[in-house]
């Protein structure tokens, strides 16, 4: 295990799971160490996870098999008209095979029946498999909770081991290295690195100190923490995540309903074609065909491929969204994301990094740089924001470190009403730092250079803050936010797909225009208020465009509800999360771009497999019908169309049926993972799908049926 030989672990894997007595003892008499115990704990936990994962795999196989068989019920399949027709045909063929006992065609009838049964099983398996993948996330979280223990800290200072489900708000727990944090809480003592990858997917550890929030299900990587639980059972982040996953409704989307209707019409057309063929064939010979053959022909011609995979594609789309830690409340939201025409993105945190940093002091004429730096330093001492800290650091790089133990004065916190903050020094001097317009109002005759400096900072994409001492303007602080890397390229891809991007920001128009140009968005709204976002959404929707946006505050809730796709942040208010139709568990607004891409992929996958399926059916028609009727003397002219030289009508039917069944599981990976796509316009995408998947759908059946026919011939079944 890599433990130093000076240490040994007592009761390395205690059977009762009580780790409070597990510790490494030094042979040389040094104080107890927890190094070996931590390794032992992590090893024990790994074994438990591995055992439960192995058990879970067996359970999921059983669940998939059970669901596959359950979905064969007519009550289930009636919602899928294509496969319902196949099930009816299968029942008729089985009945004919039973009646044909001893007849010459009994082997052929049973072969057809078995192939049709497998066709139905493959179809229901596709949906069952996709659903099982969706349940995996919630079940994994439950299994994690089931073996999580906590060291409950008693008022006396002693600890005892309890289940995570026993913790209540106000309880205090001790977290050691390697422990899974049992519930949501806040750190009241200690400093440590926490691995939050199980929740957020981010591998980089996060440093947690006093008053920082911690999430149940994460793991402490270093040091020791004392955490006060802030939620009761059922209210934790993990509980909410499980509820969101299980509460996501799988409803057919409008496009899916329309496609199902189209498939139903195609099925009806092929039923009429086959019914029409029966009297025509029997006119030329009483034994030209039989009921089993005609049912098999019907199954080969109806769009069973896309009919089998349609639900799986939609379910997999919701699953792919969850892989990026976004919970879609319904499949409609995922599909709507693929149809989005306009993206409304907040500047701060979405387009830019979000933490503006002080990069330069610009003193007015006659003001020394050191005077401006010292005033900026004093005005920012009580400012705990990243911007305020950056002002202090920049000032100290000019004036050097100062003694903070002295009573300098009374800090004045920032107010949205005054738009400034500062300090009232003990000497009576007042220093303020804030928006240029607010600081300018404090001075009777502001220097014209102030506005010039402010405009220069804004024109470069920065944010100007003015500094004043009593009534003397000192200068401007340049704050600069950084555009996230890679966004310009992604916005270019969206533009190629016909998606318009709009940046919303509270900055002035000059600053907004510079950042918009740097990021590559199509338009922007400066000095935006919540009502401005709603007005923009309504204006876009009035033009027939679908709109997506992100939000986290109660003031964003109306706009999230109005948008076709509203991505709410999990860290946001309950009103915002209820208004949105998606929730980002990582609270990363940039995730909206990933959601749109996944929605596009869902639509492209559905279109590609539909094109392949219909092309398949047309190809199978021209491959099978000539072989079926070429033996009829009056229809020998069809022999010229039997380009694959299929040996017998029965062989042609069996080959086509087997191909029809096997193509379903062959395409399940495409339905689950999605088809690869490029960022391009809808017209180009359509033409590419028709060419790639349409041509493939014509060629593959000819090759597949020909190969299967030859294999059947080797076994004397053709």
Q: Annotated catalytic sites, by residue?
A: 346
> Does residue 418 have a known ligand-binding role?
yes
- Work out the number of other CB atoms within 10 angstroms of the CB of residue 137: 19
E strand residue ranges, 287-384 = 326-328, 342-346, 357-363
Torsional sign, CA 481, 485, 488, 494: negative
Strands (E), 491-600: 500-504, 523-525, 547-551, 565-569, 582-584
Question: Which of 594, 528, 585, 530 minimizes the C-alpha distance to 563?
Answer: 530
Tokens of 622: 């021209």
Name the β-bridge partners of 346. Answer: 504
Distance, CA of 512 to CA of 500 (rounded, Å) = 17
Distances (CA, A) of 458 to 454, 513, 633: 6, 9, 87
433 annotated as ligand-binding? yes
Q: Hey, which bits of 399-505 come out as E strands?
A: 409-415, 420-425, 430-435, 462-469, 472-480, 500-504
Q: Is 260 annotated as a binding residue?
A: no
Three-class DSSP category at 434: strand
CB 97 within 8 A of CB 279: no
Angle between the N-to-C axes of helices 509-519 and 487-496, in degrees from 0 to 180, rounded to the nearest 10: 80
Residue 415 annotated in ligand binding:
yes
Q: For 77, list phi and psi in degrees, rounded to 5.
A: -75, -15
Angle between helical axes of 291-301 and 106-146 (0-180°, round to 10)? 40
Residues pairing with 194 in the sheet: 206, 220
Structure tokens at 54: 């192995």
Chain-centroid distance, C-alpha 381: 41
Q: Is 455 annotated as a binding residue?
A: no
419 is an annotated ligand-binding site residue: yes
Please report the sign of the dihedral spanned by the C-alpha atoms of residue 215, residue 221, residue 222, residue 224. positive
Instruction: Report the half-sphere exposure of 181 (CA within 13 A, side-chain side).
Output: 35
Q: Is 414 annotated as a binding residue?
A: yes
Query: Residue 263's closest CA among 661, 665, 614?
Result: 614
Within a 13 Å sphere around the CA of 95, how many CA atoms are in the beta-carbon half? 8
Question: At 546, phi and psi to the nearest 5?
Answer: -95, 140
* CB within 8 Å of 52: residues ≥ 6 apart: 143, 146, 147
65 phi/psi in degrees, rounded to 5: -65, -45
Which helix (H) or strand (E) is 671 found in, with range? helix 649-673
Is 184 labelled a binding residue? no
- Specify the 3-state DSSP secondary structure of 125: helix
User: Is residue 556 annotated as involved in ligand binding?
Assistant: yes
3-state SS, one letter per residue, for 247-266: HCECCCCHHHHHHHHHHHHH
Q: Are 463 and 507 in contact (CB under 8 A)?
A: yes
> Taken in order 140, 142, 148, 153, is the CA torsion positive or negative?
positive
At residue 381, φ and ψ (nearest 5 deg) are: -60, -35
Cβ neighbors of 400 (< 8 A, separation 6 or more) are: none
Q: Of 268, 179, 264, whose CA–CA distance to 226 is shortest?
A: 179
Measured in residues, the chain has a length of 718
CA distance 577 to 92: 51
Determine which helix (DSSP H) or strand (DSSP E) holds 519, and give its type and residue range.
helix 509-519
Compute the half-sphere exposure of residue 36: CA atoms within 13 Å on the CB side of its CA.
Answer: 21
Asked whether residue 124 is marked as a ligand-binding residue, the answer is no
Helix (H, G, I), strand (E, B) or coil at 352: strand
* C-alpha closest to that of 582 among 325, 343, 338, 246: 325
The answer on whether 46 is annotated among ligand-binding residues is: no
Structure tokens that stand for 66 in this block: 């059970």
Binding residues: 383, 387, 414-421, 433, 552, 556
Annotated binding site for ATP: 383, 387, 414-421, 433
Residues in binding site for Mg(2+): 552, 556
């Amino acid at each position: 295990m890599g433990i130093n030989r000076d240490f040994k672990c007592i009761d390395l894997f205690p059977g009762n799971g009580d780790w409070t007595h597990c510790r490494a003892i030094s042979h040389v008499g040094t104080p107890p160490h927890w190094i070996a115990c931590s390794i032992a704990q992590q090893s024990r936990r790994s074994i438990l996870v591995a055992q439960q994962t192995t058990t879970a795999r067996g359970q999921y196989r059983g669940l998939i098999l059970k669901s596959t068989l359950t979905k064969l019920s007519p009550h289930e399949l009636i919602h899928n008209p294509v496969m319902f027709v196949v099930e009816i045909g299968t029942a008729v063929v089985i009945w004919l095979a039973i009646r044909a006992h001893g007849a010459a065609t009994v082997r052929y009838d049973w072969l057809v029946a078995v192939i049709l049964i497998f066709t139905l099983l493959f179809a229901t398996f596709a949906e069952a498999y996709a659903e099982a993948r969706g349940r995996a996330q919630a079940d994994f979280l439950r299994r994690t909770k089931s073996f999580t223990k906590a060291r409950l800290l008693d008022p006396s200072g002693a600890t005892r081991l309890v289940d995570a489900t026993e913790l209540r708000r106000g309880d205090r727990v001790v977290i050691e290295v390697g422990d899974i944090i049992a519930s949501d809480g806040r750190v009241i003592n200690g400093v440590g690195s926490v691995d939050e990858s199980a929740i957020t997917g981010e591998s980089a550890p996060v440093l947690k100190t006093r008053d920082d929030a911690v999430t149940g299900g994460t793991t402490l990587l270093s040091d020791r923490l004392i955490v006060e639980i802030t939620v009761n059972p059922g209210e934790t982040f993990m509980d909410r995540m499980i509820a969101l996953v299980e509460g996501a409704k799988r409803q057919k989307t409008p496009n899916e309903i329309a496609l199902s209707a189209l498939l139903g019409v195609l099925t009806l057309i092929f039923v009429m074609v086959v019914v029409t063929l029966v009297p025509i064939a029997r006119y030329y010979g009483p034994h030209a065909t039989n009921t089993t053959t005609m049912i098999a022909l019907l199954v080969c011609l109806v769009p069973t491929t896309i009919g089998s995979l349609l639900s799986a594609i939609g379910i997999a789309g919701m699953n792919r969204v969850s892989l990026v830690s976004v919970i879609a409340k319904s499949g409609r939201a995922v599909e709507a994301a693929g149809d989005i025409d306009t993206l409304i993105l907040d500047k701060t945190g979405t387009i830019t990094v979000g933490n503006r940093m002080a990069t330069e002091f610009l003193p007015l004429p006659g003001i020394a740089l050191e005077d401006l730096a010292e005033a900026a330093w004093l005005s920012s001492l009580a400012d705990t924001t990243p911007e305020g800290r950056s002002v202090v650091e920049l000032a100290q790089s000019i004036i050097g470190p100062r003694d903070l133990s002295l009573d300098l004065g009374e800090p004045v916190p920032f107010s949205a009403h005054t738009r400034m903050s500062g300090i009232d020094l003990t000497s009576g001097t007042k220093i303020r730092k804030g928006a240029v317009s607010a600081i300018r109002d404090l001075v009777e005759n502001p220097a014209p250079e102030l506005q010039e400096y402010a405009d220069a900072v804004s024109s470069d994409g920065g944010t100007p803050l003015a500094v004043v001492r009593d009534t003397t303007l000192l200068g401007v602080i340049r704050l600069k936010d950084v555009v996230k890397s890679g966004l310009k390229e992604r916005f270019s891809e969206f533009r190629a797909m016909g998606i318009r991007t709009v940046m919303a920001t509270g900055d002035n128009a000059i600053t907004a225009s510079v950042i918009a140009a740097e990021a590559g968005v199509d338009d922007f709204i400066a000095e935006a208020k919540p009502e401005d976002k709603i007005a923009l959404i309504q204006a876009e929707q009035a033009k027939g465009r679908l709109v997506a946006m992100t939000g986290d505050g109660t003031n964003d809730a109306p706009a999230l509800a109005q948008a076709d796709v509203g991505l709410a942040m999990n860290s946001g208010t309950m009103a915002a999360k209820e208004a949105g139709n998606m929730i980002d568990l990582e609270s990363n607004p940039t995730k909206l771009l990933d959601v749109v891409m996944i929605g596009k992929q869902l639509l492209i996958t559905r279109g590609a497999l539909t094109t392949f399926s219909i092309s398949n059916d047309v190809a199978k028609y021209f491959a099978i019908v000539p072989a079926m009727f070429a033996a009829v003397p009056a229809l020998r002219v069809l022999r010229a169309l039997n380009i694959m030289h299929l040996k017998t009508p029965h062989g042609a039917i069996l080959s086509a049926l087997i191909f029809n069944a096997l193509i379903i599981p062959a395409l399940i990976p495409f339905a689950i993972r999605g088809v690869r796509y490029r960022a391009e316009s809808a017209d180009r995408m359509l033409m590419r799908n028709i060419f790639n998947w349409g041509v493939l759908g014509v060629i593959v059946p000819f090759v597949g049926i020909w190969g299967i026919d030859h294999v059947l011939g080797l076994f004397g079944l053709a």
